[in-house]
Amino acid sequence: MLGLVLVVLGAAGMAAVWLLGVPAAPSAPSGDFTSLGEQIYFTGADAAGPIPRSGGPGGMMGGRACAGCHGADGRGGSFGMMSNVEVPDIRYSALTSPHAEDDPPMPAWTDADIARAIRDGVEPNGESLDAFMPRWDMTDDDLNAVIAYLKELG
């Protein structure tokens, strides 16, 4: 009886994920990655293996690389089961444009701002990023490779 209950609960959970639009991890480009930044963006790993995180989510979101939430194209979007999570557009062109629609307006991000967001989870205005955003313990080389890849996204 307990086994049947667990199967029903598992099926209900999978149906909820499908119905509520929680995105599946995007498939990485076929073949080899063209750059270290692309590899990190899609896998969360560099040549030495998985890049450690110093904070951010565990559980369902914790194992994802950048593309798992921001999408293969970096445009972000919204998803969620219990509540909607707005995932920002992280294409370089979007980050480095002023955001006058924000309250208060957000200035254009610099490469240093992007690095601080990835490592420390802090926006240029000093506010913390959403708790869903992992804080990555990246080397300078890995960080520069990811920023270079974001430039390729737009």
pLDDT-derived band at 60 (thresholds 50, 70, 90) equals very low
Q: What sign does the CA torsion over 130, 44, 79, 113 have?
A: positive
The per-residue pLDDT for 1 is 54
Q: pTM for the full model? A: 0.74
Decide if pLDDT at 30 tops 60.
no
Q: What average pLDDT does range 8-34 have in this prediction?
A: 48
Question: How far apart are alpha carbons 99 and 93 in whole angstroms?
Answer: 12
pLDDT-derived band at 62 (thresholds 50, 70, 90) equals very low
The per-residue pLDDT for 140 is 96
Residue 10 lies in a domain: no
Residue 17 lies in a domain: no
Question: How far apart are alpha carbons 117 and 20 in whole angstroms?
Answer: 28
Interval 66-102: pLDDT, tens: 998 899 999 998 876 666 778 899 999 999 998 767 7
Residue 31 lies in a domain: yes
Interval 95-126: pLDDT, tens: 999 876 776 667 789 999 999 999 999 998 89
Residue 115 lies in a domain: yes
Q: What's the total number of domains in the chain?
A: 1
User: Which range of residues forms the domain containing residue 77?
Assistant: 23-152
The per-residue pLDDT for 64 is 73
The per-residue pLDDT for 6 is 41
Query: Which residue in 91, 80, 64 sits closest to 146, CA to CA?
Result: 91
